[in-house]
Amino acid sequence: MSKVVVITGGNSGIGEACAWKFAREQYTVIVCGRDHVRNVRVCESINREAGCAYPYSVDLRSPTELTDLFRRLTLDHPPINCLVNSIGIDGQSFTMTEEYPEADFEDVMSTNVSAPWRCMKAVLPAMREAGRGTIVNVASLAGLNASVTGGSVYTASKHALVGITKAVAKEYAPYGVRVNAVCPGFVSTPLARHVLGSKFDAVCASQPMGRVCEAHEVAELVYWLSSEAASYVTGVAVPIDGGFRA
């Protein structure tokens, strides 16, 4: 019986790359996101070429929809062995704090903090009872340093996600559940290209390695943290930035 991984935000960017990586490693992959068409597209492609994936369309900002999702998953695909929280938005990039819209603040916090926390809360009881399970949260270098592009709100949300990761890791280490975060720098994703716009090429050139990270490189780290190869690794927030913070 294959292991099951739930990937939030699994229909694009880093989340999609994680879906492909886990599928190639013989996991049953659950792709969760708001965009039904993209969920289905990713899963159909994986099912043709790599393995077994199922789309679940849900707005994870809604506590009710999130609770219903995990209730269905418990029935459809037990047990959930791994959770990858790749859901996230940038908010109002390049916006000063004094000008930041209240509505966007709430949206960023709901998406980047509340939704991953609730997903963790949903899977932890079964993982604790089973005595095993892994969670990897996709944070950002903005969870370790201030973000120039995302500003104070994005920075706060990713710092919060890193803090939650560490706290939950300590809580659940005695039960065999490992919880970690990855903190990518600039990654070549549709979101990054949209945020940076015409600045994208200049950002690539400014990196120590002369390029930005690719989504599949983040997925490799996420998979390693979820695997038995990282069986003694928990509570860490791992930068993947090509030497940017060195």
Distance of alpha carbon 207 from alpha carbon 210, whole angstroms: 5
Q: Known catalytic residue: 154?
A: yes
- Written as one string, the DSSP assignment of 92-156 is STT--GGG--HHHHHHHHIIIIIHHHHHHHHHHHHHHHHT-EEEEEE--GGGTS--TTTHHHHHH
CA-CA distances (angstroms) from residue 94 to 110, 132, 139, 194, 196? 20, 41, 19, 12, 10
3-state secondary structure of 176: coil
Structure-token pair, residue 164: 């939650």
| Residue 229 CB coordination number (10 Å) | 10
- Among the listed residues 27, 54, 56, 154, the single catalytic one is 154
Distance of alpha carbon 232 from alpha carbon 230, whole angstroms: 6
Q: What length does the chain have?
A: 246
The residues annotated as belonging to the active site are 154
